[in-house]
Structures are given as C-alpha cells and as structure tokens.
C-alpha cells in the first residue's frame, strides 16, 4: 500500500488573511498532485514568536480552523494543520488541528514540550513565557494507517514517538519551525533518528525562510523512510512536496530488523 502525502512549506507573513489564503492555495496544489494527506507548517497563520501569539490566537473552532476544514472538504484530503496559536480561556497553546477528508475536526494536538532554549550568542527562545503545554499525545488514522503527531520541539523527545510506535503508528508527523542554528545542526538528524528508532516514516513541514522576519525558519521540510533515507527535501523557500510512502517497505524493515520484538526492558 502507498500513501501519497503533501508537505507544504509556505511563506508566512504578518497578514493572517493572506496566510490563510496561501495555505488554501497550496493545499489545492498538493491535492491536485494526488496527495491524500497534507501537512501545513507550525504557526501557519501567524509569524512565529512569543510576541505574536496573543494577537493571532483564536479559539478552535474559529476562523483559521474553519478555513482549513473547508479546504479539507473541498479537496477531499486529510489535513494536519501545522499549528496556530490557540486561545482557550486565559491560556494560549501551540495547537495542531487534524481534519479528515470531509472537513471534520477529528482531534487537536497541543504542543507538549514547549520550546525553551538558550544558546548564548545564537538563539534564546522561551515559549513557556506565554504558552501552556499540552498534556497528551495525538494519533489518528488515514485509511487504517496510524499517524502520530508532534509539534517541532516534540521531535526531540523519543518517548513520545515510541508511545506512538507502541500503539501502532507507521508515520510520525512534526510540523516544525527550526531555526538557522539548531536547524542546520539537528533537523535532519532528529528525523532520521526517530525514523530509525521507531521504524516509521517521519515527515516535517516548516514555514519558508524569511530573512526580514524576526524568526528565521530553517525550512528543509522533508520525509524520511524507515531505513533512514531522505525521500524528499525542500530548500529554504516556499515549496510543495508530494511523495509516496511505501508502507510495504516499512513492513520489510520491521521484519528484517525486528527490534520491536527484541527489546529487553528489564535491562533498562
Ligand atoms: O528544537 C529546536 O531546536 C527547535 C524547536 C522549535 O523551533 C520549536 O519548537 O518551535
């Protein structure tokens, strides 16, 4: 079985309306190329930065989520809608909405691990100054293929990916906006690591890089197979990637190297 997926690396600017129109346009482009599952980037309706989240935040359902719900229905695609700043009561979250191909909101994933790092002279970021963290993992099915979702920094935590794998995941998807420091150093390696640890496909979708923005996204959205090979990779600009995930190859990797049956939990 093959699952054709679309990864949308889109330009995100300060006008929310333009961002939403752009997302809808690029979803259609992916669907026109036969994608059944489309992924948008982290923070696709707002510039990425703690100073922007409150201004761009919306309830779910709200305008951004219903715009993407309509695009899912009109194009008959499942959509992992990257993330938007979500407002619920007094709290803000970094939240991914997941829609089926009828436009129904089937689940939401609130970023569990907030991006708080300090690399002196390079990058300091503290999402926890304004965001609250999610408290659960999120899995859903497309044509019986189980898909686990994390947002960006969540990819650094192998336990979340392993939980999805234990519960049957074949694909791990992380909308993410790495930066020029940690993106260059870790973005591809983390995807390959999660793909090899879990013998899953791993996919990411990043905003396109904008050197006039306050945050410079790494870009390089990609898909990696269970053998750790990069199937496709964007450059830094806006791009729609469409790629086939060959689920039989995944079964073969799991059969040939049966690590999930060889674990020795009593030793560690
Ligand atoms: O883990 C990293 O280095 C980057 C994470 C990030 O940009 C995010 O969580 O939004």
Query: What is the tens place of the pLDDT at every residue in 38-95?
Result: 999 999 999 999 999 999 999 999 999 999 999 999 999 999 999 999 999 999 999 9
Q: What is the pLDDT of residues 240-261, one digit of tens each?
A: 999 999 999 999 999 999 999 9
Q: Quick one: pLDDT at residue 211?
A: 97
What value does the mean pLDDT take over residues 26-49? 98
Known catalytic residue at 111? yes
What value does the mean pLDDT take over residues 164-182? 98
- Please give the number of the atom of ligand 1 that sits closest to the Cα of 42: 10
Ligand 1 neighbours, Cβ below 6 Å, are 42, 115, 152-153, 156, 177-179, 182, 186
What value does the mean pLDDT take over residues 187-211? 98
When the pLDDT of each residue in the chain is averaged and rounded to a whole number, the result is 98
Q: Quick one: pLDDT at residue 196?
A: 98
Q: Which of the residues 152, 200, 238, 239 is marked catalytic?
A: 152
What value does the mean pLDDT take over residues 121-137? 97
What value does the mean pLDDT take over residues 166-174? 98
Is the pTM above the cut of 0.95? yes
Confidence of residue 172 (pLDDT cuts 50, 70, 90): very high
Q: What distance in angstroms lies between residue 85's CA and the mean position of ligand 1's atoms?
A: 15
Given the cut 0.90, state whether the ipTM is greater than it.
Answer: yes
- Please give the number of the atom of ligand 1 that sits closest to the Cα of 152: 9
Residue nearest atom 9 of ligand 1, based on CA coordinates: 153
Q: Quick one: pLDDT at residue 202?
A: 99
Q: Quick one: pLDDT at residue 222?
A: 98
Confidence of residue 124 (pLDDT cuts 50, 70, 90): very high
Q: Quick one: pLDDT at residue 45?
A: 98
Residue nearest atom 5 of ligand 1, based on CA coordinates: 153
Confidence of residue 113 (pLDDT cuts 50, 70, 90): very high
Q: Quick one: pLDDT at residue 151?
A: 98
**Which pair of tokens denotes residue 241?**
């990637």
């Amino acid at each position: 079985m093959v699952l054709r997926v679309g990864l949308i690396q889109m330009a995100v600017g300060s006008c929310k309306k333009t961002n939403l129109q752009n997302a809808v346009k690029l979803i259609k482009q992916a669907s026109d190329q036969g994608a059944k599952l489309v992924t948008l980037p982290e923070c696709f309706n707002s510039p990425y930065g703690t100073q922007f989240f409150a201004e761009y935040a919306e309830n779910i359902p709200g305008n951004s989520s219903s715009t993407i719900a309509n695009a899912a229905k009109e194009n008959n695609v499942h959509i992992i809608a990257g993330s938007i700043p979500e407002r619920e009561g007094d709290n803000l979250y970094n939240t991914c909405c997941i829609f089926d191909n009828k436009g129904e909101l089937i689940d939401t994933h609130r970023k569990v691990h907030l991006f708080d790092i300090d690399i002196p002279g390079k990058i300091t970021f503290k999402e926890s100054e304004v965001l609250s963290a999610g408290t659960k993992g999120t899995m859903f099915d497309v044509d019986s293929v189980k898909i686990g979702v994390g947002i960006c920094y969540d990819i650094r935590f192998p336990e979340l990916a392993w939980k999805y794998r234990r519960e049957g995941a074949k694909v791990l998807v992380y909308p993410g906006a790495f930066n020029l420091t940690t993106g260059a150093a870790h973005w591809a390696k983390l995807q390959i690591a999660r793909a090899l640890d879990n013998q899953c496909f791993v996919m990411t979708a990043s905003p396109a890089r904008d050197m006039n923005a306050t945050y410079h996204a790494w870009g390089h959205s990609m898909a990696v197979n269970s053998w750790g090979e990069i199937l496709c990779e964007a450059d830094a600009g806006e791009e729609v990637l469409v790629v086939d995930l060959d689920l039989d190859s995944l079964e073969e990797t799991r059969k040939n190297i049966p690590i999930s049956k060889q674990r020795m939990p009593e030793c560690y």
